[in-house]
């Protein structure tokens, strides 16, 4: 009895029904639908469901559609939202419109290796035609002096960066030149050379893929190695030593070409490949071991010109403005390539030495030295493809171009001596 009383007072305290003859739930009706209906009708659950459905419907009806890419010649890389309805102007709807400044912006171009010899001349041309240019360079062989005339131009930016590391930028075109090009420099740290060619090219292709930019690779005639076909057509696969001292450059560039084509086939990146033959002109490194700069610098310093081997090996020499015209023509064309860009005029080393003597010093002498490993015996581009498809061919002869280079070298050698 005492127990029962205790239980009753506890139930009273907790306001719990003790026991009732009348069940709190209505007797179960037949079927699952009936029990679901009864579940919904209890405790205003139906009202909550209806209010929820109303709120969800209003949200989906009133919100703008998902962002859709808008194609615009100069902003094709941008992912911009496309409003499907007009709301009263609020800070949010204003942010969804393409700002007028973006629509009017000209082409934006990245030039990797833009502080180097070829890159700096390319930058001059791009800036002159109205593009905004970002140069990426680690200054291994490049110099700020090559670009100093653009400092202060709002359309020009220079970033010290190594292409072996990724970088994020928003541009329309990428000219990928970054790579030491002369044997002296690319043999200095061969592992770094191949890393630049492979990882640097991967990073730049990855960037092109991400932002939808067009990508141009500056490959080289070295992909033909010591050629068994003469002159070299783009269809020739080459004769390259994969384990020699030049392989870091030759095979590095061959891999860079492979990566470029794989990004095109596999990721639909718009790509262009130029195979550049020996090029000369102002702003080349004074002592980079390339034959034209060697001869010119030696003749100006009144030193004998070094000829490796018997001097009968041949090269073709292209003036830098011709190359830059070819690179831009290729980038703007509808053709992937590869395209040979070079001057088919062929000279032996001894003939080149004669032209340098005529231009600088008729008394200049020649010093013969043993040839270097894997030095190609002959090199001459077949440029039929570039002539036909790019409407391009070189215009500047060696005798016209060499004096322009000599003027630049003479000034820099004098500056060095003073
Ligand atoms: N000049 C030629 O005769 C010739 C011939 C064939 C191919 N090419 C190619 O053209 C391109 C330019 O050659 P160039 O003659 O102007 O040579 P260059 O040495 O003058 O220029 C190369 C530029 O790349 C930069 N660079 C090198 N490694 C880099 C890295 N890891 N990250 C960022 N920047 C880096 C250098 O500092 C330099 O400014 C190269 O890709 C070269 O292979 C040139």
176, 202 contact by CB (below 8 A): no
Instruction: Tell me, yes or no, whether 115 lies in a domain.
Output: yes
Q: Which residues contact 354 (CB under 8 A, 6 or more apart)?
A: none
pLDDT of residue 377: 76
pLDDT of residue 56: 77
User: Which bin fits 63, alpha (ψ -120 to 50), beta or left (φ > 0)?
Assistant: beta
Give pLDDT, residue 195. 97
Residue 88 falls inside a structural domain: no
| Mean pLDDT computed over 292-299 | 93
b or e along 393-417 (b: 16 or more beta carbons within 10 Å of the residue's beta carbon)? ebebebeebbebbbeebeebeeeee
Tens digits of per-residue pLDDT, 342-372? 999 989 999 999 999 999 999 889 989 887 7
Element (H, E) at 308: strand 305-308
Report the pLDDT value the prediction gives residue 379, as an integer from 0 to 100. Answer: 80
- What is the band of 14 on the pLDDT scale with cuts at 50, 70, 90? very low
Question: Cis before residue 338, ω within 30 degrees of 0?
Answer: yes
Residue 277's closest CA among 187, 376, 193, 197?
Answer: 376
What is the distance between the alpha carbons of residues 339 and 326, in angstroms, rounded to a whole number? Answer: 9
- Determine the residue of 111, 125, 141 to mutate for testing ligand 1's pocket, defined as the one with the most ligand atoms within 8 A of the Cβ atom: 141
Over the range 209-241, which residues count as b (16 or more CB within 10 Å of their CB) and which as e? eebbbbbbbbbbbbbbbbbeeebbebebebebe
Backbone phi, psi, residue 264, to 5°: -70, -50
Residues 203-258: tens digit of each pLDDT: 999 999 999 999 999 999 999 998 888 899 999 999 999 999 999 999 999 999 99
Q: Which is higher by pLDDT, 12 or 40?
A: 40
At which residue do the structure tokens 């930019």 appear? 213
Report which of residues 324 and 69 the model is more confident about: 324
Gap from CA of 54 to ligand 1 centroid (Å): 64
**Which is it for strands 271-276 and 108-112: parallel, antiparallel or unpaired?**
unpaired
Q: How far apart are CA 286 and CA 298, in angstroms?
A: 9
Q: Is the pLDDT of residue 340 over 80?
A: yes
Note the pLDDT of residue 3. 45
Look at residue 79 and tell me if it is in a domain: no
Task: Give residue 186 CA to ligand 1 midpoint distance, Å.
Answer: 10
> Model-level pTM?
0.77
* Domain-located, residue 168: yes
H-only helix segments in 75-116: 91-96, 100-104
Surface-to-core class of residue 165, CB atoms within 10 Å of its CB (0-12 exposed, 13-18 middle, 19+ buried): exposed
CA of 299 from ligand 1 middle (Å) equals 25
**In percent, how much of the chain has pLDDT > 90?**
62
The pLDDT of residue 61: 65
Query: What is the pLDDT averaged over residues 246-272?
Result: 97
Residue 51 pLDDT:
76
Average pLDDT, the chain: 83
pLDDT band (50, 70, 90) for residue 19:
very low
Q: Rounded to whole angstroms, how far apart are CA atoms 149 and 282?
A: 15
Dump pLDDT digits (tens) for 146-168: 999 999 999 999 999 999 999 99
CA of 178 to the centre of ligand 1 (A): 5
Show which residues are catalytic: 249
- The share of the chain scoring above pLDDT 70, in percent, equals 78
- Answer whether 113 contacts ligand 1 (Cβ < 6 A): yes
Confidence (pLDDT) at 99: 62
**Position with higher pLDDT, 297 vs 85:** 297
Region 1-20: what's the mean pLDDT?
40
pLDDT top residue among 309 and 296: 296
- Token output for 23: 């069940």
The pLDDT value given to residue 60 = 65
The length of the chain in residues reads 418
pLDDT at residue 412 in the model: 92
Domain assignment present for residue 208? The answer is yes
Ligand 1 contact, 119 CB (< 6 A): yes
Domain limits for position 118: 106-283+318-345+380-396
Q: How confident is the model at residue 40 (pLDDT cuts 50, 70, 90)?
A: low
Residue 164 Cβ contacting ligand 1 at under 6 Å = yes
Q: How many CA atoms lie within 13 A of 206 on its CB side?
A: 12
- Ligand 1 binding pocket includes 120 (Cβ within 6 Å): no
Nearest ligand 1 atom to the CA of 164 is 31
pLDDT score for 34:
63
Asked if the model's pLDDT at residue 197 lies above 80, the reply is yes
Residue 271 lies in a domain: yes
What distance in angstroms lies between residue 173's CA and the mean position of ligand 1's atoms?
A: 18
Q: Which residues of 294-325 are buried (b: 16+ CB within 10 A; e: fewer)?
A: bbbbbbbeeeebbbbeebebbbbbbbbbbbbb
- Rg of the chain over Cα atoms, rounded to whole angstroms, equals 35
Determine if ligand 1 sits within 6 Å of the CB of residue 225.
Answer: no
**Is position 240 within any domain?**
yes
Pocket test for ligand 1, best of 167, 179, 189, 256 (most atoms within 8 A of CB): 179
Overall domain count for the chain: 1
Which range (25-39, 100-114, 378-392, 397-411) has the least confidence? 25-39
Number of other CB atoms surrounding residue 145 within 10 Å: 11
Name the token pair of 29: 């009706």
Q: What are phi and psi of 205, to 5 degrees?
A: -70, -40
Query: Has residue 407 been placed in a domain?
Result: no
User: Which of 52-56, 75-79, 252-256: highest mean pLDDT?
Assistant: 252-256
User: Looking at residue 335, which CATH number applies to its domain?
Assistant: 3.40.50.720
């Amino acid at each position: 009895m005492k127990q029962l009383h205790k239980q009753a007072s506890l139930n009273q305290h907790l306001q719990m029904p003790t026991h009732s003859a009348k069940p709190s739930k209505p007797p179960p009706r037949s079927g699952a639908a009936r029990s679901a209906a009864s579940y919904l009708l209890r405790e205003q659950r139906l009202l909550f469901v209806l209010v929820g459905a109303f709120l969800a419907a209003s949200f989906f009806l009133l919100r703008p559609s998902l962002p859709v890419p808008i194609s615009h010649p100069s902003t094709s890389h941008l992912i911009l939202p496309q409003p499907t309805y007009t709301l009263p102007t609020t800070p949010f709807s204003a942010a969804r419109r393409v700002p007028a400044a973006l629509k009017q912006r000209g082409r934006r171009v990245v030039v990797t290796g833009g502080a180097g010899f070829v890159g700096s001349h390319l930058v001059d041309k791009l800036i002159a035609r109205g593009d905004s240019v970002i140069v990426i360079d680690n200054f291994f062989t490049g110099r700020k002096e090559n670009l100093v005339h653009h400092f202060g131009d709002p359309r020009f930016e220079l970033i010290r960066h190594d292409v072996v590391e990724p970088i994020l930028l928003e541009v329309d075109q990428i000219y990928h030149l970054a790579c030491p090009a002369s044997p002296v420099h690319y043999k200095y740290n061969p592992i770094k050379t191949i890393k630049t060619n492979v990882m640097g090219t991967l990073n730049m292709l990855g960037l092109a893929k991400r932002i939808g930019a067009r990508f141009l690779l500056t490959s080289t005639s070295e992909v033909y190695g010591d050629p068994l076909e003469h002159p070299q057509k783009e269809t020739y696969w080459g004769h390259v030593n994969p384990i020699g001292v030049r392989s870091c450059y030759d095979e590095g560039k061959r891999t860079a070409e492979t990566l470029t084509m794989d990004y095109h086939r596999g990721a639909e990146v718009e790509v262009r490949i130029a195979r550049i033959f020996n090029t000369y002109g102002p702003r080349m490194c004074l002592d980079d071991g390339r034959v034209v700069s060697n001869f010119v610098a030696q003749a100006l310093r009144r030193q004998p010109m070094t000829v490796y081997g018997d001097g009968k090996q041949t090269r073709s020499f292209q003036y830098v403005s011709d190359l830059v015209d070819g690179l831009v023509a290729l980038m703007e064309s509808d053709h992937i390539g590869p395209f040979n860009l070079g001057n088919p005029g062929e000279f032996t080393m001894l003939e080149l030495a004669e032209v340098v003597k005529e231009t600088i010093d008729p008394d200049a002498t020649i010093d013969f030295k043993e040839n270097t490993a894997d030095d190609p015996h002959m090199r001459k581009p077949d440029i039929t493809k570039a002539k036909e498809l790019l409407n391009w061919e070189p215009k500047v002869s060696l005798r016209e171009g060499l004096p322009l280079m000599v003027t630049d070298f003479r000034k820099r050698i004098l500056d060095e001596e003073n």
